């Protein structure tokens, strides 16, 4: 009986294991079939899709439509959302970089329009300064161009885009100051805002500056912020040195920085300049934007 009992026990265990294997096998088979089906389905999509279409990015307009549907807008508003990519370079000063802000053709149009009007650049003089005493601080050549002087209408298009990027109206902007820097030419560190203690009372003040780089520069020509993050303020800084945060010019890119704090006082970290061009030629169009209508 003991032998029989042992045999029955052994026989019963094998049967249970077989049943368990049968029960486990069914879900595994179903899961395997499902995986093979999905792999075949997506594989067929991959091989039937045009390779050129697969590599093409989704147009920005379609992304905007999907993410942000149009909203009712006011008389001075715009009919649809727009997207202007930017990178924050610094909070002290508030400086933002806009890659591919203008097309190559737009940049070339501006250079062509300005080229015949260039004159040596001048400075706004502080109390006690003369043209002779400030000689060498700004060595570029340039001209002022308003949008209505541009037959290509490029400047008008750029102005509209700058207004959207800065959220400051077009009629607050001065005419573009288009500048050319040859090898060795530069602009020593300065502020774009006018300190009334140095320049006298101001009817309105420059809030922000937008620089549109019109050419690449092989070497040198960076826009520099020596006081970025409040650095170098207490070292007896030489205004002719090119130190601090440096922004390399790239054709079609834009740089925005604010000269005033949110309370309306001058941001001391907005001190900036143009490093000497070492190799190549630098063209830039500067738009100064004020706190009142120009």
Distance separating alpha carbons of residues 195 and 157, to the nearest angstrom: 32
Least confident of 29-33, 147-151, 210-214, 229-233: 29-33
Distance separating alpha carbons of residues 284 and 145, to the nearest angstrom: 12
What are the residues whose beta carbons fall under 8 Å from the beta carbon of 3, sequence distance 6 or more?
Answer: none
Give tens-digit pLDDT for 186-197: 999 999 999 999
Q: What pLDDT was estimated at residue 60?
A: 59
- pLDDT at 17 exceeding the cut of 50: no
Q: What pLDDT was estimated at residue 64?
A: 59
Q: What pLDDT was estimated at residue 5?
A: 36
Computed over every residue of the chain, the mean pLDDT equals 84
- pLDDT at 207 exceeding the cut of 90: yes
pTM here is 0.76
Distance separating alpha carbons of residues 244 and 140, to the nearest angstrom: 22
- pLDDT at 150 exceeding the cut of 70: yes
- pLDDT at 27 exceeding the cut of 90: no
Per-residue confidence band for 20, with pLDDT thresholds at 50, 70 and 90: very low
- pLDDT at 4 exceeding the cut of 80: no
Q: What pLDDT was estimated at residue 47?
A: 47
Give tens-digit pLDDT for 67-93: 777 889 999 998 888 899 999 999 999
Q: What pLDDT was estimated at residue 267?
A: 98
Least confident of 25-34, 96-105, 174-183: 25-34
Average pLDDT of the segment spanning 114-119? 94
124 vs 273 pLDDT, higher one: 273
- pLDDT at 148 exceeding the cut of 80: yes
């Amino acid at each position: 009986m003991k032998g029989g009992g042992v045999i029955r026990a052994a026989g019963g265990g094998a049967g249970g294991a077989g049943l368990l294997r049968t029960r486990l096998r069914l879900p595994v088979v179903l899961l395997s079939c499902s995986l093979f089906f999905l792999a075949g389905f997506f594989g067929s999509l991959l091989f039937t899709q045009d390779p050129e279409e697969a590599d093409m990015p989704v147009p920005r307009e379609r992304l905007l439509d999907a993410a942000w549907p149009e909203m009712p807008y006011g008389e001075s508003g715009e009919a649809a959302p727009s997207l202007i990519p930017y990178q924050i370079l610094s909070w002290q000063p508030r400086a933002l970089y806009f890659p591919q802000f203008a097309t190559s053709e737009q940049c070339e149009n501006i250079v062509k329009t300005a080229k015949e009007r260039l004159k040596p650049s001048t400075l706004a003089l502080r109390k006690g300064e003369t043209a002779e005493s400030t000689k060498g601080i700004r060595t570029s050549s340039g001209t002022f161009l308003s949008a209505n002087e541009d037959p290509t209408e490029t400047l008008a298009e750029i102005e509209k885009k700058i207004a959207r990027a800065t959220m400051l109206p077009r009629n607050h902007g001065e005419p573009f100051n288009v500048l050319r820097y040859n090898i060795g030419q530069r602009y020593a560190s300065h502020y774009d805002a006018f300190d009334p203690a140095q320049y006298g009372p101001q009817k309105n003040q420059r809030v922000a500056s937008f620089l549109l780089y019109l050419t690449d520069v092989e070497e040198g020509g960076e826009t520099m912020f020596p006081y970025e993050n409040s650095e170098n303020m207490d070292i007896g800084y030489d205004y002719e040195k090119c130190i601090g945060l440096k922004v390399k010019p790239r054709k079609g890119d834009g740089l925005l920085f604010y000269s005033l704090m949110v309370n309306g006082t001058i941001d001391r970290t907005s001190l900036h300049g143009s490093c000497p061009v070492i190799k190549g030629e630098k063209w830039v169009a500067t738009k100064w934007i004020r706190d009142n209508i120009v």
